[in-house]
Amino acid sequence: MGIIDSGQFVQSLKGLKEFPPFILLVGDEESAIEESLRNVKILFKEIYGQSMPEFNMETFHGEKDEAETVLDACLTLPLLSRKKLVVIQHYEKSPQRTKEKVEHYCQSENPSTTLVLVCQSRISQPFLQTHWVQQVSKKGLVVKFWRLFDSKRPQWIAEECAKRRKKISSSAALLLSEIAGETQGEMRSEIEKLVLFVSGKNQIEREDVKQSILSKRNQTIWDFVEKIEKGDPKSAGIILQGCLDQGEEPLAMLHLLARSLRKNAGSLGSQKTESLLRECKNADRLLKSGDGTESAVLERLLYLYSLKPLAGRAERL
């Protein structure tokens, strides 16, 4: 078996005569992982039939379900089928005791069960080199879901448009890659809207992107990004408040700030860039947990972004 990238996964699985005993889906690209998991379930039903799915397909959650409950499902024989499918969502949130028991199970698994571990966390080489991951890769598939690099996003967008029988110009794909969100799921949603907007046209141009996504707002996201990158935090702050008032998602605005930060890392300096990235991560946590006022969290980050380092002193945030 082995460790493969997500683009190879479905084809690799289709090429096997039987589902492997283990599948580990790991990475921070949530929507792509969810799509792959749906494909796993569809393919499982095609190969092993759809009889008794309530017994032969079970899903558990790492932070909620006890190790004994999960392992009991793994060790139970399938009903009227050659295989059963057991999924652990958010395995990364499992207690250490559960992880230890699951990793022990990986040494002497039930051949009638395919255990799918969904680990939604950033991929690291030390993690991939751990003994149990290497063990899983020898018996099953470890699938890496990398978040798309900025340079790869326009090509991915073009491929997604092609699936919908649309062509997109390079300038339109580049613009869409800058404003359509961080994840593949967010970008795919904007592509769907864009395809509906152009309707009968076969070729999507930059102007189509601007009209469908940007010009519908009085205070546009595009203006927000432009003001940030021109070093005009006061105007950016006004536009930010306008976007929030019109219902723009705070996390989407945060992602644009983070993208602009990465884009301008060279001019900001490594120390300030690293500090701001930490602030972005903290802002993401505050927005998701509801612990901070949305506008205040984003305005503070915008303020820190605009600060100039003091002459003769190290940059500090």
Alpha helix segments (H runs only) across 107-232: 125-128, 131-139, 153-163, 170-179, 184-198, 206-209, 221-229
Task: Report pLDDT digits (tens) over 179-201.
Answer: 777 778 778 888 988 998 888 89
What pLDDT score was predicted for residue 212?
Answer: 78
Domains of the chain as residue ranges with CATH? 2-145 (3.40.50.300), 148-216 (1.10.8.60), 220-309+313-317 (1.20.272)
Task: Report pLDDT digits (tens) over 134-175.
Answer: 989 999 999 998 878 888 899 999 999 998 999 999 999 998
Element housing 115 (H / E): strand 113-119
Element housing 203 (H / E): strand 203-204
What pLDDT score was predicted for residue 310?
Answer: 37
Task: Report pLDDT digits (tens) over 197-225.
Answer: 888 899 999 999 888 765 555 446 777 87
Write 45-51 long-range contacts (CB < 8 A, 24+).
47/18, 47/19, 47/83, 48/19, 48/78, 48/81, 48/82, 48/83, 49/80, 49/81, 51/79, 51/80, 51/81
Q: Which two tokens stand for residue 172?
A: 């339109």
Q: Is the pLDDT score of 126 beyond 80?
A: yes
Packed helices 153-163 and 184-198: angle between N→C axes, nearest 10 degrees: 50
Instruction: Look at residues 115, 71, 68, 64 and name the one whose alpha carbon lies nearest to residue 90.
Output: 64
Q: Which two tokens stand for residue 140?
A: 């099953």
Task: Report pLDDT digits (tens) over 2-21.
Answer: 899 888 898 899 888 899 99
Element housing 167 (H / E): strand 167-168
The C-alpha atoms of residue 296 and residue 302 are separated, in whole angstroms, by 10
Looking at this protein, which amino acid is placed at residue 73?
A
Is the distance from CB of 302 to CB of 240 less than 8 angstroms? yes
pTM higher than 0.75: no
Is the distance from CB of 115 to CB of 74 less than 8 angstroms? yes
The C-alpha atoms of residue 119 and residue 128 are separated, in whole angstroms, by 12
Task: Report pLDDT digits (tens) over 104-119.
Answer: 999 899 999 999 999 9
Q: Which two tokens stand for residue 297?
A: 């969290």
pLDDT category at 28 given cuts 50, 70, 90 is confident
What pLDDT score was predicted for residue 111?
Answer: 94
What pLDDT score was predicted for residue 3?
Answer: 92
What pLDDT score was predicted for residue 292?
Answer: 65
More confident residue, 238 or 43: 43
